[in-house]
Chains A and B, each alone.
Chain A
């Protein structure tokens, strides 16, 4: 069974996200689309809308232009419709808008290149994906964010395909390490349904740091923890069990907390994209008993590797693939360049 068939059985919407620019996101998208053609799966193709990109959109420089086979469902803004090289049957005018006009859902009648775009708003994105499924798409591929940190992943898709590659570092070991770091942060324990989760979710609406001390919840008058390390250190006491941080989790915050206090509490984040701590310091913190849980997790459906970096260096593709497969455990790893 092909990779697309496997994915389609587990997920409905998959976003393709790059670890960094030039990690091979568009190559991955094209590879998956080709696979779908071969495996005979009807796919829907859309993208996460990106604001302020309209000039680029018009010239098409950073716009995914993908070759789509007949039968594919695709979201196209009105102003790009006439520019499509493929024959597109208009199925539905949606309620969603982009910088290039209202989005239409179309079925490819005559194969060819199409420029795609999707809604900016997360809730609208979800609704539109449902509409695409109503129209017959079995699996939806979302051209996601260039940088994994800017994705709103838990909301827009069921899982992501993470594109990683040589662009991250000249050292193959480091590329694997950084990728593994992301994999492990995306697999942090999720706070299970129940009283604790409800309490944190209710508190999270205030958008402030929240400390849970037994039955009590305490709020700090700080929105993000960026400069809040010492105040936070002060607020954590013997009774503190959970610390919810609404914004970014950086090293400077954790650095200011006394190591003995670090062991007793569990930090809670909205989702793993809020972590801004590198692989090495993360490992060191973990050894000191640092624990993080999340409200929403991000499932990784597969990894794709690109052995080439734009700076000119490259790895042996087979070596990279093997090293990554060893590190990734159960997650499928694909070399999209060579189709392995």
Chain B
């Protein structure tokens, strides 16, 4: 049973974190694909995962130079797992052998860097020693990353190649001698490749050259003729033995490749295990860097189904704000089984707080650090965020229709220990039925062993003992005089920002029947809606109260 649907991963910002990890190796990317949630009951395994991350964070913090070198090595790694698999029963090509040697050198580097670390390195990152195999592929023990079927691989090969070079020289010596003779005898000059090129247009020269017994026509096209030295018996003999040598050399090179492939095949499982360890290391380094960059903390994992987040931040929004040079206002919340309602002003960040809770819960449950100053988290059996979604509108469903469709899905899937995050349910229909529906949903949820967090604009949704009410402080403490003075001369974008500046996004627990602050008209006015319209609206409010 999966923990959540893809939309929940996207909407809470969990996917944003996963995509933001800077993974360096193909093995790390494989590890990322295997990220899975820890279900309730798997608390111990999750704690181990978090402990690995904690040690990695420590490594990154205490040995920056070493980690830098480690990253450089990781960045150069290619996916050679297929080549390693193949080594078992096929002959690897020279390029593949080169790649394996490269990988071995890289593994060697990673291993020695981790060995030298002054802090404890998780056992899962430790690579097995493959020096024996490297020695085979690097017979000269030079540890330089180049490859060729070197003479050192086989004495026979070295002898054959030596012979070939000797014959080459012999042929050249004979030919040089001939060249000198011909040049002297006929007063011509040949190229160092023992060729003599002439223009066919020069009929006389052609005749003369054809008549030279020591020269043979090598090649001709429509414009020129290339003559070369006629080979004599000595050269022919040498060339024949050279042919035989070439064949023998090729055969011996194949033998060497066969032998080396088999040696690699013997290390196959060790190499693959090392690749997995590299993936684990890479993945944890990425998580550690991410956690440090975003000021995240290790969550405390508990058996009870609770969510306590102190000064939590939603990272998607925080990143946007930071780009504008602004800060995210952290929000603390403390949730346990039952329904908690968040009410409060428009533009008060209710939806962001909902997403923040979702993000923290999702991250913790997948073995990540959490963006807050302290977190105490119990594992959920199911997580779902129900939030307005433009995709459904594109499918042709009304917002209410798609919301109800999804709600049914949630209620069907939820079981004890679920975490439900619901944003402004039933706001897309008439307020009378909307309020009624919201209240009955809240009633239903408060009887379940779920943590339900619901944002709403409706008053009096939450009458009843089990339900907790949280309110966004909003503009409650703001000096409106000051605010309207500041906003008077601002342009459109500045108005939104000024309101943002005065807004207090923090949540407070309030009593059951406290009325929700009515800031909508204030905000509409500040955003420049016609004064007449606002005044009329206020009048309607007065009428209704009376």
B-binding residues in A (CB < 8 A): 34, 37-38, 78, 81-82, 87-93, 104, 107, 109-110, 307-310, 312, 314, 317, 337-339
Contacts and interface: CB of A to CB of B under 8 A. Distances in A.
B395 to A, nearest CB: 40
B199 A317 contact: yes
Contacts of A310: 222
Contact of B93 (A38, A82, A314, A317): A82
A90 B94 contact: yes
6 contacts: A34-B192, A38-B192, A90-B95, A309-B223, A314-B199, A317-B199
Interface stretch (B145-153, B318-326, B328-336, B373-381): B145-153
A310 B223 CA distance: 8
Contacts of B99: 93
Given A82-B94, A337-B224, 9 more contacts: A34-B192, A38-B192, A89-B147, A90-B95, A90-B148, A93-B78, A314-B223, A337-B197, A339-B191
A78 B95 CA distance: 7
B533 interface: no
Residue among B95, B99, B161 with max Cβ neighbours from chain A (10 Å): B95
A92 B76 CA distance: 12
Interface in B180-231: 191-193, 197, 199, 201, 222-224
Interface of B: 78, 93-95, 98-99, 102, 145-148, 161, 191-193, 197, 199, 201, 222-224
Given A81-B95, A90-B95, A104-B95, A308 B148 contact: no
B146 A89 contact: yes
A313 to B, nearest CB: 9
Contacts of A93: 78, 98-99, 102
Contacts of A89: 146-148
Contact of B148 (A87, A312, A317): A87
Contacts of A339: 191
Contacts of B199: 307-308, 314, 317
Contact of A308 (B94, B145, B191, B224): B224
Contacts of B94: 81-82, 90
B171 to A, nearest CB: 13
Residue among A90, A337, A338 with max Cβ neighbours from chain B (10 Å): A90
B159 to A, nearest CB: 15
A314 B201 contact: yes
Given A88-B148, A314-B199, A308 B193 contact: no
A41 to B, nearest CB: 15
B222 A34 contact: no
Contacts of A78: 95
B161 to A, nearest CB: 8
A37 B191 CA distance: 13
A91 B98 CA distance: 9
Contacts of B102: 93
B66 to A, nearest CB: 25
A167 to B, nearest CB: 11
Contacts of A37: 192
A73 to B, nearest CB: 12
B262 to A, nearest CB: 20
Contacts of B224: 308, 337
B152 to A, nearest CB: 13
A88 B78 CA distance: 22
B126 to A, nearest CB: 27
A82 B96 CA distance: 11
Contacts of B95: 78, 81-82, 90, 104
A142 B148 CA distance: 25
Contacts of B148: 87-90, 109
A276 B228 CA distance: 43
Nearest to B148: A89
B146 A91 contact: yes
Nearest to B202: A316
Given A314-B223, A337-B224, A339-B191, A90 B201 contact: no
A88 B93 CA distance: 13
B24 to A, nearest CB: 14
A81 B148 CA distance: 12
A288 B201 CA distance: 43
B187 to A, nearest CB: 15
A334 to B, nearest CB: 14
Contacts of B147: 89-90
Contacts of B146: 89-92, 107
Nearest to A35: B192
B145 A312 contact: no
Nearest to B96: A78
